[in-house]
Amino acid sequence: MTPPESCSIRKSPLLWIEKTFKLTPQPLKKGVSPDEPVIFYRPSHFEPFAKGKHLTWQQWLFFRAVEWGIAGKAPRKISVASGHGTGKSSELALFVLWFLFCHKDAQLSATAPTAQQMFDILWKEVSLWHQRMPAWMKDIFEVQGAYVRVKEREKTWFARAATARKENPEALAGVHGENVALVGDEASGIHEAIFETSQGALTSKNIFFILISNPTRLSGFFFNTHHKLKHSWQTLQFDSEESPIVDPSFVQGIIDTYGKDSSAYLIRVKGRFPTLCSS
């Protein structure tokens, strides 16, 4: 396989997703610009969502952030604080497969705090999207265990999954080359030692560093990407109540159980960091 080094799909994961899976972004309403700052957009700016036809507007914002990073309009470091059910595992899985397909000898390292989060959620999602690819494209990859490899150059062209444990701080390390990406799912729970060790992989200006998580902690690296390190990251915040794919009964269940003034509501629904005054 020889990926298109400078073609349009290398510059646009949204175009690659459309060509590969026939999914387009949830449409903007007439007269709404697609080039506003991330904080501008609300559900009212979009036409109705169609399952199986559209990426949600929040997923569009994530991939637009990737495209802005490629274009040099914004950092290639992207940190997403999200409530439950907004499609964050799907967008990470699509990012993994796009990155591998479009970048020669790409090396991607992905991690999460537990094996269940890593393999039963994110890596399972990668496998599901791989199975949905056209047959000729699906055959390019080998999905096995903790790896997704490009068969043509399996030793130098791969995505790797590892659990982020303090005893294994190399979870995001050990990948090198011109096309490198680091991905952290449920990043709020990843131990600081993993992020410290990962710094050795951040030597190229072309590297992507993607973190997505429920914002569960008021300290740590993920928290800092939305606060004191925010100047060097693109930061997004996804509210479950604003997602077209989250069942309202989930939101109401959290409200009924914990209340709107609770940390659970802020974290699991609003995608916001808890406050000292919340319960």
Establish if 279 belongs to a structural domain.
no
Cα–Cα dist 43/65, whole Å: 18
Domain of residue 203, CATH code: 3.40.50.300
Establish if 224 belongs to a structural domain.
yes
* Pair 173, 154: CB distance under 8 Å: no
Establish if 14 belongs to a structural domain.
no
Break the chain down into helix, strand, coil percent, rounded to 5. 45, 20, 40
Cα–Cα dist 106/180, whole Å: 6
> Block means of pLDDT (10 residues each) for the chain, length 279 residues?
66 96 97 91 97 98 96 95 96 97 93 88 95 96 93 92 71 72 92 77 78 94 95 96 97 96 96 73
pTM of the model: 0.93
pLDDT at 200: 64
Q: For the chain, what is the domain count?
A: 1
* Residue 67: burial class (beta carbons within 10 Å; 0-12, 13-18, 19+): middle
Establish if 132 belongs to a structural domain.
yes
pLDDT at 11: 93
From residue 18, how far is each of 14, 36, 257, 267 by CA, in Å? 6, 22, 40, 31
147: CB partners within 8 A, 6+ apart: 158, 159, 160, 161
Cα–Cα dist 159/143, whole Å: 9
Query: What pairs with residue 80 in β-bridges?
Result: 212, 236
Structural domain that includes position 64: 20-270
Q: Which residues of 208-223 are buried (b: 16+ CB within 10 A; e: fewer)?
A: bbbbbbbbbbeebbbb
Establish if 218 belongs to a structural domain.
yes
Establish if 5 belongs to a structural domain.
no
Establish if 148 belongs to a structural domain.
yes
Establish if 4 belongs to a structural domain.
no
pLDDT at 5: 47
* Pair 108, 181: CB distance under 8 Å: yes
- Strand 180-185 with 158-163, pairing: unpaired
